[in-house]
Amino acid sequence: MQPQITFQPSDTANLAVKMALNNLSVYYKDFRAIKDVTLPVYEHRVTAIIGPSGCGKSTLLRALNRMNDLIPGARVEGEVLLDGENIYGAGQDVVDIRRRVGMVFQRPNPFPMSVYDNVAFGPRLLGLRKKAVLDEIVERSLRAAALWEHVKDKLGQSGMALSGGQQQRLCIARAIAVEPEVILMDEPTSALDPIATLNIEDLIQTLKENFTIVIVTHNMQQAARISDFTAFLSMDDDRAGYLVEFGPTVELFTNPKQKLTEDYITGRFG
């Protein structure tokens, strides 16, 4: 049985809501992968999504910039609001939505081109051609991703020749280059070594000064370290993912209101 959803008390009166999910359900043909999720995403904060394998964390994340549209048979019910406007509403420009809400994937996926061209790819798609402007965007984005000092003399080198951690930072720079407002991260450190993981975590803390970040992670210690808010998902009897509890990360990890949350974060299941 699905328990009553709990929202932890917190002082959020002074926080702006950048995105909001209202009774969001995601279907793959007849299968409901996500069931009636409602939660806020606060501006310039890191929101972590945690939960056992198969509960729909990545599906929920992809719903935030309509990446699920690319999957045949996928559809949604409910709303995903970006600055108060439903991204699934009639007449929405999906390309613009994905520019405003960027995505960084689980495994680093640099394009088979130079470091420079990886970062310039998005701006060029948007019609930017002036080299001076592109040069500025590439440097600014690489600096924001804490990669500039490592690659400033290797901009013509293949992005695929970088180390795993540097490749992931290159992918973050590529996402930043089109000036998104929200960055979605789907387990961005799961394929990285511990040092590269800590570098990405430090980077996330810096990035939230300018971006709103939503991260899916299997690593609860990581969620506790880097997120301001945490949403815990689980699976109902029909295998649909649902929200068990949402609140400030410190409160959710130290004083969970649902026994299911406590069982998960203490390792009793998952």
CATH number of the domain bearing residue 89:
3.40.50.300
pLDDT in tens, 1-45: 454 456 555 667 789 999 999 999 999 999 999 999 999 999 999
Please report whether residue 104 resides in a domain: yes
**270 has a pLDDT exceeding 80:** no
Kindly report the pTM of this predicted structure. Answer: 0.92
> Is residue 94 situated within a structural domain?
yes
Per-residue pLDDT averaged across 245-270, rounded? 92
Question: 200 lies in which domain range?
Answer: 6-109+181-265
pLDDT at 174 over 80: yes
Report which of 191, 185, 192 is spatially closest to residue 223, judged by C-alpha positions.
185
In-domain check, residue 76: yes
Mean pLDDT of 138-151: 96
For residue 190, being part of any structural domain is answered with yes
Tell me whether residue 167 is in a domain. Answer: no
Domain count along the chain: 1
pLDDT band at 191 (very low <50, low <70, confident <90, very high): confident
Q: Which residues of 62-97 are buried (b: 16+ CB within 10 A; e: fewer)?
A: bbbbbbbbeeeebebebbbbbeeeebbeeeeeeeeb
Residue 164 within any structural domain of the chain: no
Distance between CA atoms of residues 269 and 129, nearest Å: 52
- What share of the chain in percent tops pLDDT 90? 91
Residue 39 lies in a domain: yes
Instruction: Write the single-letter amino acid at 8.
Output: Q
Residue 209 burial by Cβ neighbours in a 10 Å radius (0-12, 13-18, 19+): exposed
